[in-house]
A and B are shown apart, each in its own frame.
Chain A
Amino acid sequence: MTWLPLVSLTGVGTVISLAVIGGGLLWLLYRSLLAKEVDRRIIFLFIFLSVAAPLLFPITFEEEATPVVKAIFDRIESLPEGSRILISFDFDPAMAPEVQPMAEVVTQHCMVKNHKVIFMCLFATGQALLTQSLDQIMSEQFPDKLDGLDYVNIGFKAGNEGVLNVIVSDFKKMFPTDVNAVPYDSIEVFKGIRSAKDLDMVFTVGGGKPGVKEWVLFVGDPGRVPVAGGVAAVVAPQMYPYYPKQLLGIMGGIKGAAEYESELRKEYPQFEDVDAPGLRMMGPQTLAHMVIMAFIVMGNIAYIVQRRRDGQRKRL
């Protein structure tokens, strides 16, 4: 019964933090009814609290995959074992907290399905993230997977869209070796792959340029390669016009990652004990969203009250 005090401690912490945040919001509502101004720093403080509290005292929610996310999951699930999938880490450390969970969960899925995966990145600062994240996943969860045989890390290449424009017709020309200087021809994963057209699927994770859109424009459409994308929430609405004709699925923001993680856990229960950053981050997300919505409501109440008072003053 050693877990009991922990659970209750978490429960008490959650209740106290919710009470503090809720009480504070009510106080602000009262002030806004009196048409008193709220300092912007108070808003920052509330956002900080609403993010910090669920991190210290975790709250988790069930997630149901939406069709746009499920489409990616189903595609990877239905591909025969040993299919070649390319995963591109097109992000830098600034975007990482939001999009890295997507890259990681798809990597886990591909590995558990025994697909052969090629990892690359179009952002110079992404290479360190890619190598670090790959080392961690492979050593902790898939120690039997071999570099070169089951997956390969070909790293970063300068040239943005130019790189994509070349690999759609010739992979080796752009990536003569992998990051460990192993020649292209001696890498098992590349057997039978001359260009990106020979890939069974591309999954690209990003939020800047080059990103998912460039993959659609330079590889997906001209090479008729199925492309799926995980994107930072900011650019997600821009990607929807490409779905489902040009993009087979979209993971938008951390919610997309959380949906994929829950789908993976449902299908493969062995991932229950593995950290799921997407699901973990949905607690702070939900609370912060509620606080923001409360502020929007309060702001509008204050605005209406103010306008009414001004109207009365004018009439006087």
Chain B
Amino acid sequence: MKYLLSAVIVLGLLASAAWAQEAEPATPVDTTAAADTVSIEPPAPVGNLRAYDSDNDHGHAVTIEWELSPDDGAGANSVVAYEVFRWYPDFWDTVQQVRADLVAARQLRASGTLDVEGDPDDYVKELAAEHQEMLSRLPEAHEQYPNNGEFRSLRVVPFGATTFEDQGPKDRLAEDFLPDYCDFYYRVDAVTKVDSIRTPSEIVGPVQSYGQWFNTGRIVVLCFVVIFGLLTIFFVQRARAGAELYVRPIAGIEAVDDAIGRATEMGRPILYVLGLGTAADVATIASFTILSRVAKQVAEYQTQLIVPTYDPIVMSVAQEVVKSAYMDAGRPDDYSEDIVYFVTQSQFAYVAAVNGVMLRERPATNVYMGMFHAESLLLAETGAIAGSIQISGTDQIAQLPFFIVACDYTLIGEELYAASAYLGREPVLLGSLKAQDVAKAAVVIFALIGVIWSTAGSSLFQNLFKVTD
């Protein structure tokens, strides 16, 4: 075994020696050349150096691009890195001194240990004003190039790199703050493994950094926002004008009416759960419309309604909804503030409380509409044990399976929104539902085109959907 191992090692060494004879080293860092530093020639400089303000940002960044030195990965293969330099005016050091003083003074002032003559606050304010004034003189100092200043190293990037972003924070008090609207000059050195043997490039400049008003990388998002917005407005206007907008019947919606009738016959209450969503969630908003319809019928039939809520804001809105539904039904006196009440904002504590209501009050019908998380099955299961008719609807995909198995009717995802539009017949809801249908048709068409392009091996169509920041 030992001999075999030795043989393998020896063979391996021989093979690597043979390979080293034939092949060019992959990188210029080779271990054999430690002694012959004298033989290294200065490499060729980088080509076509360009500097420009970085796109789609808030400023404070300049991008520098170059073409590889002919001696990087080819030619003499001697370039190990590139060092990027920027020209700094001497005035920059004065500004930095004041900045450091200001930062220190602010810290000491915050801890109450700033020991100066006069009011410490005034001292800090004066320093801040001085720093501000100096910053405003920075562009002027940069205009003096090439006098009263020098090139300073920014960063060393490894061989093979062709771009560097000179980026700083917009915080004026940061050490590496990069001011906007100053004339910057850059230089890139091709560096060999002997630091002193290097070749500087041409100097590029002046270039200024500045912020952009619009992020063109997000233009796709803007297009979709505009198209969807216009579609929605168009269909809402049509619905308002009285156009007959067809919505297919949705099984489960009719069940709500029957369930309310059943509760009335049995003389038991109806429990309406709005879920854990906030008032801004679409599912909760859709649920409000359905609640309005349920509350109106409950008021007409004079049945009891129970609405325990999880979110205080949702509670406020639900109270408004139920109150106006009772008014619409012509029974404002039957409305009580206790119909909609707040339980708690802790998920499982809320479930425990609602489960308690189900087992104690024994509602004939439980309606769960809105956003649900882990509590869906806990609620629906308890409701099933209590023998209630259960109708649910949510746009939370993960919770749908539980509702489907434990409830009598379930509105899947968008059916919840559609139900709300179908029941409410409100132009805004109907119009948006129609706009969504058009959008879905568009997605189907996009998917078809995209798949065909992609199968043909082109990513051209896919690139149209690319969002960059």
**In their complex, do chains A and B touch, with some C-beta pair under 8 Å?**
yes
Identify which of residues 380-429 in chain B touch chain A, using a CB-to-CB cut-off of 8 Å.
397-398
> A194 an interface residue at 8 Å Cβ cutoff?
yes
Q: Which residues of the partner chain A approach B193 to less than 8 Å between Cβ atoms?
A: none
Give the interface size class of chain A: 10 to 19
Cβ-defined contact, A238 with B397, below 8 A = yes
Which listed residue, A94, A194, A223, A238, touches B398 by the CB 8 Å rule? A238
Cβ-defined contact, A224 with B397, below 8 A = no
Which listed residue, B373, B398, B469, touches A222 by the CB 8 Å rule? B469
A181 to B107, CA, bound (A): 14
A221 to B397, CA, bound (A): 22
> A274 an interface residue at 8 Å Cβ cutoff?
no
A232 to B397, CA, bound (A): 14
A256 to B398, CA, bound (A): 18
> B312 an interface residue at 8 Å Cβ cutoff?
no
A221 to B221, CA, bound (A): 13
Q: Which residues of the partner chain A approach B467 to less than 8 Å between Cβ atoms?
A: 221
Compute the total of residue contacts between A and B using a CB distance below 8 Å: 21
| B455 shortest CB reach to chain A, Å | 19
Q: Which residues of the partner chain A approach B169 to less than 8 Å between Cβ atoms?
A: 194
* Contact status of A208 and B469, CB under 8 A, knowing A194-B169, A238-B397: no
Q: Contact mask A225-241 → B, CB, 8 Å, 1/0?
A: 00000001011011000
Q: Contact mask A128-160 → B, CB, 8 Å, 1/0?
A: 000000000000000000000000000000000
A237 to B401, CA, bound (A): 12
Identify which of residues 64-123 in chain A touch chain B, using a CB-to-CB cut-off of 8 Å.
94
> A308 an interface residue at 8 Å Cβ cutoff?
no
Q: Which residues of the partner chain B approach A238 to less than 8 Å between Cβ atoms?
A: 397-398
Cβ-defined contact, A223 with B469, below 8 A = yes
| A165 shortest CB reach to chain B, Å | 14
A100 to B196, CA, bound (A): 53
Cβ-defined contact, A94 with B347, below 8 A = yes
Cβ-defined contact, A209 with B397, below 8 A = no
Cβ-defined contact, B373 with A208, below 8 A = yes
| B110 shortest CB reach to chain A, Å | 9
* Contact status of A235 and B398, CB under 8 A, knowing A208-B373, A222-B469: yes
| A141 shortest CB reach to chain B, Å | 32
> B348 an interface residue at 8 Å Cβ cutoff?
yes
Q: Contact mask A177-202 → B, CB, 8 Å, 1/0?
A: 00000000000000000100000000
Cβ-defined contact, A237 with B469, below 8 A = no
Q: Is the interface of B mostly helix, strand, loop or mixed?
A: loop
> B374 an interface residue at 8 Å Cβ cutoff?
yes
Cβ-defined contact, B373 with A237, below 8 A = no
A200 to B397, CA, bound (A): 31
Count residues of chain B with CB under 8 A from any CB of chain A: 9
| A197 shortest CB reach to chain B, Å | 9
Q: Which residues of the partner chain B approach A232 to less than 8 Å between Cβ atoms?
A: 374
A165 to B427, CA, bound (A): 34
A235 to B373, CA, bound (A): 9
Q: Which residues of the partner chain B approach A235 to less than 8 Å between Cβ atoms?
A: 398
| Residue from B373, B397, B398, B469 with most neighbouring chain A CB atoms (10 Å) | B398
Identify which of residues 24-70 in chain B touch chain A, using a CB-to-CB cut-off of 8 Å.
none
A235 to B348, CA, bound (A): 17
Q: Which residues of the partner chain A approach B348 to less than 8 Å between Cβ atoms?
A: 94
A221 to B374, CA, bound (A): 27
Cβ-defined contact, B374 with A234, below 8 A = yes
| B121 shortest CB reach to chain A, Å | 20
Q: Which residue of B lies closest to A168 (CB)?
A: B469
* Contact status of A209 and B373, CB under 8 A, knowing A194-B169, A223-B469: yes
| B89 shortest CB reach to chain A, Å | 25
Identify which of residues 451-469 in chain B touch chain A, using a CB-to-CB cut-off of 8 Å.
467, 469
| B253 shortest CB reach to chain A, Å | 26
A300 to B373, CA, bound (A): 29
Q: Which residues of the partner chain A approach B374 to less than 8 Å between Cβ atoms?
A: 207-208, 232, 234
Cβ-defined contact, A208 with B347, below 8 A = yes
* Contact status of A234 and B347, CB under 8 A, knowing A194-B169, A209-B373, A222-B469: no
A234 to B399, CA, bound (A): 8
Q: Which residues of the partner chain B approach A237 to less than 8 Å between Cβ atoms?
A: 397-398
Q: Which residues of the partner chain A approach B398 to less than 8 Å between Cβ atoms?
A: 234-235, 237-238
Q: Which residue of B lies closest to A173 (CB)?
A: B171
A289 to B173, CA, bound (A): 59
A234 to B373, CA, bound (A): 9
A222 to B347, CA, bound (A): 30
| B87 shortest CB reach to chain A, Å | 23
Identify which of residues 148-193 in chain B touch chain A, using a CB-to-CB cut-off of 8 Å.
169
Q: Which residues of the partner chain A approach B373 to less than 8 Å between Cβ atoms?
A: 208-209, 234
| B17 shortest CB reach to chain A, Å | 31
| B155 shortest CB reach to chain A, Å | 12
| A96 shortest CB reach to chain B, Å | 13
| B365 shortest CB reach to chain A, Å | 23
| A222 shortest CB reach to chain B, Å | 6
| Residue from A94, A208, A209, A224 with most neighbouring chain B CB atoms (10 Å) | A209
A21 to B169, CA, bound (A): 64
Q: Which residue of A lies closest to B402 (CB)?
A: A234
Q: List 21 A-B contacts (CB under 8 A).
A: A94-B347, A94-B348, A194-B169, A207-B374, A208-B347, A208-B373, A208-B374, A209-B373, A221-B467, A222-B469, A223-B469, A224-B469, A232-B374, A234-B373, A234-B374, A234-B398, A235-B398, A237-B397, A237-B398, A238-B397, A238-B398
Chain B residues engaging chain A, CB cutoff 8 angstroms: 169, 347-348, 373-374, 397-398, 467, 469
Nearest 4 CB-CB pairings of A with B: A194-B169, A235-B398, A234-B398, A238-B398
Apart from A209-B373, A234-B373, A235-B398: 17 A-B pairs, beta carbons within 8 A:
A94-B348, A194-B169, A207-B374, A208-B347, A208-B373, A208-B374, A221-B467, A222-B469, A223-B469, A224-B469, A232-B374, A234-B374, A234-B398, A237-B397, A237-B398, A238-B397, A238-B398
